[in-house]
Structure 1
Amino acid sequence: MRLLILLAPLVLLLAWAPSWWVRQTMRKYSQPEDRYDGTGAELARDLLDRHGLHHVRVESTRDGDHYDPFDRAVRLSEDNHDGRSLTAITVAAHEVGHAVQHAQDYPPLRMRSNLVCLSRYGQQIGAWLMVAIPIITLIARHPAPGILFFLAGILSMGIAALVHFVTLPTEFDASFRRALPMLRRGNYLHPPDYPHAQRILKAAAYTYLAQSLMSLLNIASWFRFLRR
């Protein structure tokens, strides 16, 4: 128990640090705002058209930068959709990388999409189990079997953690096998900007590392609860 107390701050720091680094990196290269002539949305549209993905839309969103494989849409935050900074251009290329993965039926992306669908149902069932367990205990006048608690935790948190881990190779592929080569082939960036673009792409990929670590923390906390 003492070991867990001592390690908890370190684990929390490891989970928080990647998220902080991502935000700092994105903010750093958002200046100057007029670094490029075209916007992130314009770059995304050009890259999609070059890959024959004319049917994929480019949209502005408030939900964070992402590619939606179900609606076939590259969605960029308002700053990156309308922005002309190095961050806007690089993030747009990263999200187009996901669209190219989808067009080429990249297996990890397909697996992630299937798991996302599964996790939605799993989280709903897990939430219902959480509600049902006290009712079952009250009606049966006996504590609910531990397997129900275990199943609720796995459905609520385990599948989400698996989604994050499957996402990691997908993100690195979109960054370094798709986005960066596309930017280099098209000479889209000023030559001194390529090393900085690599940092942004690494940050875009590491976003999910932070989420994966937080998922592990949640699962660890759940198992400690079950052992009581």
Structure 2
Amino acid sequence: MGILIVLFIVLFILTTLPSLWTKAILNKHRTPHPYIPGTGLQFAEHLIQKHELTGVKVEETEQGDHYDPIEKVVRISTANAHSNSLTAITTVAHEIGHALQDKYDYPELKQRTALIERAAIMQKFAGMALMITPLLIPLAHTPMVALLTFGAGFIAMGVPVIIHLSTLPVEFDASFKRALPLLEQGEYLNKKDHKTAKRILFACAMTYVAASLSSLFNLWKWLKALKR
């Protein structure tokens, strides 16, 4: 029992602290930068033109920074869209990194996009199955009902694990193989700011690691509850 408590504390720390640290890093570098001339939106438009990302648009959003490979849109949060902070510029470079992955048919991005689309359908049916199984139990005392419940639960808990794990290589590639070289080769930042941008990207990457650990932890707890 003691080992389980220690394991729970360790996993809690690993899944919570990275998010808190990332927020602290991003907030620390949200102040306006004295030498960066444009906002996040302007920087995104500049990079789209420079790297000939044909068909890619940029727009402001309230849903958080992300690249939509289906709509071909780089969406920049309001906080970063109208700011020239290091956080804003680095975040935009990361999202443009995803657009570059799309342009050059990065296999892992395509696989993740297809997986997310399939997962949405699977989780919808899993949710429906979990809703109807309590109604089926009194009517049909068969192993099929238990199997249906297990299958639906496994999809609901297991699919997020697969998605988060498939996200890791995509995010690390967008940050360290695309965004960082993009910032360095374009000479948008000085040497000191480039180091800060690297730290911002690393902090953000840790949130994806934490999300993967969290989803694995949730799956482990669910499987352990089934054994009781």
Indicate the TM-score class for this superposition, using the shorter chain for normalisation.
over 0.9
1:84 counterpart SS class: coil
Q: Which residue of 1 aligns with 2:90?
A: 90
Matched, 1:36 2:36: yes
2:84 counterpart SS class: coil
Between the two proteins, what is the percent identity of the paired residues? 42
Higher mean displacement: 153-162 or 59-68? 153-162
Change (3 A) 1:34 1:125: farther
Q: Which residue of 1 aligns with 2:10?
A: 10
Q: Which residue of 1 aligns with 2:212?
A: 212
Code of the aligned partner of 2:104: Q
| 1:2 positional shift | 4.2
Provide the C-alpha distance between the structure 2 equivalents of 1:144 and 1:27, rounded to a whole number of angstroms: 51
1:138 counterpart SS class: coil
Q: Which runs of 4+ in 1 moved over 3 A?
A: 32-35, 141-146
Higher mean displacement: 49-58 or 163-172? 49-58
Contact (CA 8 Å) 1:35, 1:86: kept in 2 or not? no
In the alignment, structure 2 segments of 5+ residues that lack a partner are: none
Using the size of structure 1 for normalisation, the TM-score is 0.94
Using the size of structure 2 for normalisation, the TM-score is 0.94
Q: Which residue of 1 aligns with 2:100?
A: 100
Provide the C-alpha distance between the structure 2 equivalents of 1:225 and 1:149, rounded to a whole number of angstroms: 14
Contact (CA 8 Å) 1:133, 1:144: kept in 2 or not? no
| 1:144 positional shift | 6.2
Higher mean displacement: 51-60 or 78-87? 51-60
Contact (CA 8 Å) 1:149, 1:226: kept in 2 or not? no
Q: Which residue of 1 aligns with 2:48?
A: 48
Higher mean displacement: 142-151 or 9-18? 142-151
Provide the C-alpha distance between the structure 1 equivalents of 2:122 and 2:154, rounded to a whole number of angstroms: 8
Aligned Cα RMSD in Å? Answer: 1.6
What is the number of equivalent residue pairs in this alignment? Answer: 228
Provide the C-alpha distance between the structure 2 equivalents of 1:143 and 1:4, rounded to a whole number of angstroms: 31
In the alignment, structure 1 segments of 5+ residues that lack a partner are: none
